[in-house]
Structure 1
Amino acid sequence: MLDNHQKNIATFIHLSTFTRFIIPFGNFIGPIVLWMANKEKSEFVDNHGKQAINFQMSILLYALIMGILTVPFFIFNLISSFDFIDIDLFDGIHFNISEPSPLLYIGGGLGVLAVLGFILELVFIVIASLKARDGEPYHYPLTIAFLK
């Protein structure tokens, strides 16, 4: 039987991921500290702690992949918009704003995906917190099980 203390600890494990807005890497530090201190006391807390940490590690991996894909498109777009060979000495370097490159659309699309991913991450954390508060198990979607 779950008591309120176990439910509260599991809820705070999920909510502690929001400390990243105050402390760098707080989304890892908060859940890991709470989980390590309480994992032997309850299987419920242990499961929710693993879920929160796995989700944050998965989000970090997805963000790195998204960044690796987005940065080259942005750089290639910048490089392609310069006139490197300009005979007219009085004009200097030109930016071609009238014709955006298709690379800009790809990079922008990946940027929109990143913003949607961030919003979904916040929603999933709130849902997991509410499930923990109610004493129900929760499995984050698209999570890689680093900790089993």
Structure 2
Amino acid sequence: MEVVNQTGLRKDTSLLVITHLTQLLCYVIGFGGLIVPLIIWLTSTDKVEGMDVHGKAAVNLQLSLLLYVILSIPAILLLGLGILTLIGAAILGFILPIVNAVRASNGEEPTYFLTIPFIS
């Protein structure tokens, strides 16, 4: 349901939910988990109420996960600690978008655990 408020921004919770759920494209087709939310955020940040906060959170999560994966690859040589980091990143990357999609549908702010705020 789309409702236009006094500021000219429309309230579109379904687009916010889609923004969070498109992060799961990495698990389905192998890529797109960063690109698609970034495109949605950049194209609709000035049209949809709350998109700026939710889009930044989604992109920050994907950038943080990318950094964790890159750092865990050399850490595999150190007693296998990188494998635990890879597993943890995979679990966080799967659960957090779903949780925040539910939060977006309820009109709440997103919360991402262990996310580095690259874009603020």
Taking structure 2 as the reference length, the TM-score comes to: 0.82
The higher relative CO (CA closer than 8 Å, separation ≥ 6) is in: 1
RMSD: 2.0
Q: 1:41 corresponds to which residue? A: 47
Match of 2:75 among 69, 76, 81: 69
Q: Which aligned pairs between 1:1-148 and structure 2 lie closer than 5 A? A: 3=3, 6-20=12-26, 21-22=28-29, 24=31, 26-70=32-76, 73=77, 106-107=79-80, 109-148=81-120
Percent of aligned pairs with the same amino acid: 29
Higher helix share: 1
Decide whether the 8 Å contact of 1:7 with 1:45 is kept in 2: no
Taking structure 1 as the reference length, the TM-score comes to: 0.68
Separation (CA, whole Å) in 1 of partners of 2:30 and 2:72 = 23
What 5-or-longer segments of structure 1 have no aligned partner? Answer: 74-102
Specify the structure having the higher radius of gyration (Cα). 1
Deviations 1:90-145 (A, max 9, x none): xxxxxxxxxxxxx6xx21x4313421331132111110110011110012011111
What 5-or-longer segments of structure 2 have no aligned partner? Answer: 4-9
Q: Show structure 1 runs of 4+ deviating over 6 A.
A: none
Decide whether the 8 Å contact of 2:17 with 2:101 is kept in 1: yes
Structure 2 letter corresponding to 1:14: H
State the 1:23 CA deviation.
5.0
